[in-house]
Amino acid sequence: MRVMSVGRVGPLGSGSLVCEERPLPSPGPGEIRIRVEACGVCRTDLHVVEGDLPRSAAGIVPGHEIVGRVDRLGDGTGGWQVGQRVGAAWLYRACGNCRYCLRGDENLCTSPLFTGYDRPGGFSEYVVAESRFVYSLPEGFSPETLAPLLCAGIIGYRAFSRLGLRKGDHLGLYGFGASAHLVLQMARDKGIGVSVGSRGDRHRAFARRMGADWVGGPSETPTEPFDGAILFAPAGELVLPILTHLDRGGKLMIAGIHLSDIPPIHYETHLFYERSVGSVTANTREDGRNLIEWAVGGAIVPSVKIYPMEEALCALTDLKEDRIEGAAVLKMGD
């Protein structure tokens, strides 16, 4: 089978990804093999390739927004059928035994494995997945449309839900990429106002077309304070200005897996009046099921740019250089 693997770890460029042939994997006990139809391209994949994550290494096959068909079943995978449409996401497996898993916070597991990082991912024609962490996906949707839901959507959903906003509240989104354009739709569906801060003219125009109430640069002041905000861009220098835009009691969620350093916080300026800042780490399977159910109802529709698998480096480059409106997706086969 063909895969696009990390050729070298470091700044994106020639040789960052290589196309190679690998043996077809066999699913072990509790695993299924998926024939990949589409795989979203996430900023986390960029962090893996460029070495921003600690276990980045040559040979990794990135990709964790996987949509495909069950191709083969390992032992102990009752309930799945060959040919069934499924999705695999970032969380390949949680241990199920640590105190975080036992209390329902499997996203905080002390010994997790991740798709496209610890295990080969979806920049590939076939992939093996832990059957307990695979999602059943509906027919009637293109695999390219479903793929971004499996990380951009799920992480956006977790960040949005943790804010606890209500109808009539005001949400700020910073970094208007794959996750943010889906969260904007979630907020609009709940009657929540949305302001967008983005450095790119293309992304600001995209946010306006999608119905944002206010759009400006990251350093501009929105027309009204935020009840909640989400930072998707990996830019720690944005944390302080966003905090100054929060209303009393407002919350900022940082939704990236990697962030540059945050400048020193001044308590009275940035946190007083019960403003707060938190992070989002991975996701639970419940997050994924809730997001997929919401999306297939029609309220959340990803905007996608499709690339052949062999053009994965081009997709990552376009992502890094902010040339994508919505999400990049690799399409496998014809």
Confidence of residue 200 (pLDDT cuts 50, 70, 90): confident
- Buried b / exposed e over 297-315, threshold 16 CB at 10 Å, is eeebebbbbbbebebbbeb
**Tell me, what DSSP letter sits at residue 67?**
E
pLDDT at residue 333 above 80?
A: no
Confidence of residue 142 (pLDDT cuts 50, 70, 90): very high
Nearest Cα residue to 251 out of 231, 275, 233: 275
- Model pLDDT for residues 246-268, shown as the tens digit of each residue: 999 999 999 999 999 999 999 99
**Distance of CA 62 to CAs 20, 156, 243, Å?**
13, 20, 33
Confidence of residue 298 (pLDDT cuts 50, 70, 90): very high
What integer is the mean pLDDT of 125-147? 97
**Distance of CA 130 to CAs 24, 76, 105, Å?**
16, 11, 18
**Distance of CA 42 to CAs 213, 234, 320, Å?**
26, 13, 10
pLDDT at residue 239 above 90?
A: yes
Residue 33 CB partners (closer than 8 Å, separation 6+):
24, 25, 26, 27, 70, 71, 72, 73, 74, 126, 127, 128, 129
* Average predicted confidence (pLDDT) for the chain: 97
SS3 state of residue 41:
strand
pLDDT at residue 276 above 70?
A: yes
- Model pLDDT for residues 36-50, shown as the tens digit of each residue: 999 999 999 999 999
- Model pLDDT for residues 147-181, shown as the tens digit of each residue: 999 999 999 999 999 999 999 999 999 999 999 99
Task: Specify whether the CB–CB gap between 182 and 152 falls below 8 A.
Answer: yes
**Distance of CA 253 to CAs 85, 155, 163, 218, Å?**
32, 11, 7, 16
- Model pLDDT for residues 111-125, shown as the tens digit of each residue: 999 999 999 999 999
Whole-number Å distance between alpha carbons of 32 and 115: 14
pLDDT at residue 331 above 70?
A: yes
**What integer pLDDT is reported at residue 334 of this predicted model?**
60
How would DSSP label each residue in 211-272? T-SEEE-TTSPPSS-EEEEEE-SS-GGGHHHHHHTEEEEEEEEE--S--PPPPPPPIIIIIT
Whole-number Å distance between alpha carbons of 217 and 125: 40
78-82, 131-135, 316-320: range with lowest mean pLDDT: 78-82
Task: Specify whether the CB–CB gap between 329 and 144 falls below 8 A.
Answer: yes
3-7, 17-21, 78-82, 236-240: range with lowest mean pLDDT: 78-82
**What integer pLDDT is reported at residue 220 of this predicted model?**
94
Residue 13 CB partners (closer than 8 Å, separation 6+):
none
This prediction's pTM: 0.96
- Residue ranges and CATH numbers for the domains of the chain are 2-137+303-331 (3.90.180.10), 154-279 (3.40.50.720)
> How far does CA 185 lie from the centroid of its chain?
15
